[in-house]
Structure 1
Amino acid sequence: MWLIISGLLVGGMLGFVMQRTRFCLTGGFRDMYVQKNNKMFYALLIAITIQGIGLWILSLFNIVQLPYESFSVIGTIIGSFVFGIGIILAGGCATGTWYRAGEGLIGSWIALGMYALFAAITKAGVLKPFLDKMNSVTVVNSNVSQVTGIPYWLLILVLGLITLFCVRKELTKPKPKFAVPTLKPKFTGVRHLFFEKKYHPFMAAVAIGLIALIAWPVSISTGRNYGLGITTPSAHLLQFLVNGDTKLLDWGVYLVLGIFIGSYIAARGSREFKWRLPDKITIRNSAIGGAFMGIGASLAGGCSIGNGLVSTATMNAQGWLSLLFMILGTWFMSYFLFVKPMRQNKKVSVKPQTA
């Protein structure tokens, strides 16, 4: 029972916070290139740093034993790049797809289904031999501290200083001079606080970093030595629905179900839930993006949460390498979906008209 309750509770908190704060790594990575806006990336650094500091303290008291496994450099690079392409097409990363499905977005349901399907196909289906082959080449140690000889606490300290510098730089930027119109609150009191109040991405990052930290000891108490994770649980959920094997229902499966439930509660409470049917192009992109996400995350050994948020906090080389090429993948796809069309439109608009 604790397995079910704790997974749903942690997932519910994560889904609720992400839905209410619109914490979206896909949009953040895209905006770094398209709009030259690094705010969401800095928010991710905050969440990683908070989790990392907490893990260092928990490891000192032997509450958490940080897991490190060897990994394929080539597999991680290719998989992360493909995953980055996929999340732009799908309009959300793995976690974003789960919480947006809870808002009623049919496109996210399509992307989520394809993501889980192709993750299962890659991890346990016809693509598993390809995955095994990729995982057998260019295999290296993932423990940055062990490889470099730099203590874990010192790596976290350096990360913390970099994060502080980035946050200070962002917060001291001159604010735009134009006034943003404010709307009269629909709710009051506690309901306004939970379902209407707008939160800065940095505040959202603090909450998400703490939830990611809590996930470790809670997950460990159920026999699963890891924190937040989305790809394998999503694949396990689909496999369970197909073959009914209850052994697949670990803490991670209830975590992702909790994300969906938490998002649904947040969307209902804020009156943002609405069934929305996308157009044909969005349906196509969601399906292709979801497939790319499933294959890419399986090859890379994690998604934007498993690698980009969790493994990075443990100073795992795979996490940081994956985060880099995930971002590059989003920039690559953003060029074709956003930058190139904008440039073409500008050329058309300045072209002189002839009588």
Structure 2
Amino acid sequence: MIITGLAVGAALGFILQRGRFCITGAFRDLWVSRSGRWFTAFLVAVAVQAIGVAALTGAGAISPEIPQFSVVATVVGSFIFGVGIVLAGGCATGTYYRAGEGLVGSWFALVAYVLSAAAARGGILAPVTDWVKGAWTTGLTTIPASIGIPEWAGVIILAGATALLVHRHVVASRARSAPVQLPAQRRGLAHLLLERQWNPLVTGALVGAIAIIAWPASWATGREDGLGITAPSANLVGGIVTGDASRFDWGVLLILGIVLGSYIAAKASGEFRVRVPSAQVIQRSIGGGLLMGVGAAWAGGCSIGNALVQTSLLSWQGWVALVFQILGVGAAAWVLLIRPRQRRAAERAAARQAASAETAPDSAEPVTAGA
């Protein structure tokens, strides 16, 4: 039943909202604060899903189709998408769940994103998308197949590398945290779900678990795919515009469920609040949403479809998309965040130096000779 899409989406939206799982923030922190904490949590989600998908595939429950690697479309589209998510203040999934929290800027970004995705996938911009995707298509599918190793070996390597990163993160966190005497904490499920701050690594594991569940739930309805945001977003617009009810499939209910789950989590935790940003932020959100939709359509997926799902399938498209999404985020972060911060710091340093020079005593005063 396609109603399971709504349930899976609601669970995902709840986890994303309560865990503050922001893929844009994970990528941006690599450049701005040089922190890999959230990126490690993201890789946990990828690795957990990779193990689950390998098990489901081995059991014959699913048989994922790996796309052939289109170089120009993946590279350019993913870079554009990376720039867009910084402007929009969140990736495709982040925009959905933040819309459920009441962020008006995300509402604008979401509308721009779904419209541009629909236009690029099957609308007025579809010919451009087809041309970009056909510019340089290879026969490459998965990385293990290209280097001649079994798929399960690739999954083991990914899981092992992720485990090493998790260990490094845990050790570093313990070294930074000084032991303190904490007061007795409240207990209970409501406290754990709605009040206590979630551990990033646990959140990443939960996202990976939901991604695993999405595969058989989606396949049971005839939609042979896992988590996805861009194609369902385009289908939502297409269904509304054309009235074609067949477009409202499991994936469409998934994205609607993300908004619903995020809203429930935000209301229950007292974090729901309609927040109206400045006109400049709204303009950036719209521009970012437009870039997100086009970039994801060209690349064949967004931060979920490519960076989370296709990476778990060890596809070339997924991992190259992940790299260029991060590079796009870095380029946008440099222009919008890092460079302005450096400029302001230099201006403050110059102002302090000038003020210090004005108040310093004159060391060149003449010395009066003694009698």
State whether residues 55 and 213 of structure 1, in contact with CA within 8 Å, keep that contact through their aligned partners in structure 2: yes
Deviations 1:306-344 (A, max 9, x none): 000001101111000000000000000000111101111
Distance in structure 2 (CA, Å) of the matches to 1:222 and 1:182: 49
Distance in structure 2 (CA, Å) of the matches to 1:100 and 1:184: 32
Query: Structure 1 residues 181, 11: closer, same or farther in 2, change over 3 A?
Result: farther
Report matched runs for 1:201-350 at 5 Å.
201-350=200-349
The alpha carbon displacement at 1:21 in A equals 0.4
State whether residues 26 and 42 of structure 2, in contact with CA within 8 Å, keep that contact through their aligned partners in structure 1: no
Unaligned runs of 5+ in 2: 359-371
Query: Structure 1 residues 175, 121: closer, same or farther in 2, change over 3 A?
Result: same
Query: Structure 1 residues 233, 246: closer, same or farther in 2, change over 3 A?
Result: same
The ranges of structure 1 where at least 4 consecutive aligned residues each deviate by more than 6 angstroms after the TM superposition are 178-185
SS for the counterpart of 1:65 is coil
- Of 27, 49, 61 in structure 2, the residue corresponding to residue 51 of structure 1 is 49
The alpha carbon displacement at 1:143 in A equals 2.5
Would you say 1:118 and 2:116 are equivalent positions? Answer: yes
**TM-score normalised by L of structure 2:** 0.91
State whether residues 40 and 166 of structure 2, in contact with CA within 8 Å, keep that contact through their aligned partners in structure 1: yes
Paired amino acid for 1:176 = R
Query: Structure 1 residues 272, 60: closer, same or farther in 2, change over 3 A?
Result: same
SS for the counterpart of 2:354 is coil
1:76 is aligned to: 74
- Of 116, 133, 136 in structure 2, the residue corresponding to residue 135 of structure 1 is 133
Unaligned runs of 5+ in 1: none
1:156 is aligned to: 155
Paired amino acid for 1:316 = S
Distance in structure 1 (CA, Å) of the matches to 2:159 and 2:319: 15
Distance in structure 2 (CA, Å) of the matches to 1:142 and 1:227: 17
The alpha carbon displacement at 1:181 in A equals 11
2:364 is aligned to: none
2:362 is aligned to: none
SS for the counterpart of 2:127 is helix
The alpha carbon displacement at 1:345 in A equals 1.0
Instruction: Choose 53-62 or 174-183, whichever is displaced more.
Output: 174-183
The alpha carbon displacement at 1:60 in A equals 1.3
Distance in structure 1 (CA, Å) of the matches to 2:10 and 2:197: 19
Query: Structure 1 residues 183, 53: closer, same or farther in 2, change over 3 A?
Result: same
State whether residues 67 and 317 of structure 2, in contact with CA within 8 Å, keep that contact through their aligned partners in structure 1: no
TM-align CA RMSD: 1.7
Q: State how many pairs are aligned.
A: 352
Aligned-residue identity in percent: 43
SS for the counterpart of 1:71 is coil
The alpha carbon displacement at 1:46 in A equals 0.8
Distance in structure 2 (CA, Å) of the matches to 1:145 and 1:34: 33
The alpha carbon displacement at 1:269 in A equals 0.2
State whether residues 61 and 216 of structure 2, in contact with CA within 8 Å, keep that contact through their aligned partners in structure 1: yes
Paired amino acid for 2:171 = T
State whether residues 102 and 261 of structure 1, in contact with CA within 8 Å, keep that contact through their aligned partners in structure 2: yes
The alpha carbon displacement at 1:346 in A equals 1.1
Distance in structure 2 (CA, Å) of the matches to 1:178 and 1:167: 20
Paired amino acid for 1:329 = G
The alpha carbon displacement at 1:168 in A equals 0.7
Distance in structure 2 (CA, Å) of the matches to 1:178 and 1:70: 50
Distance in structure 1 (CA, Å) of the matches to 2:33 and 2:57: 39
Deviations 1:151-175 (A, max 9, x none): 1100011111110111111110154
State whether residues 71 and 135 of structure 1, in contact with CA within 8 Å, keep that contact through their aligned partners in structure 2: no
* Higher-Rg member (1/2): 2
Query: Structure 1 residues 65, 179: closer, same or farther in 2, change over 3 A?
Result: same
**TM-score normalised by L of structure 1:** 0.95
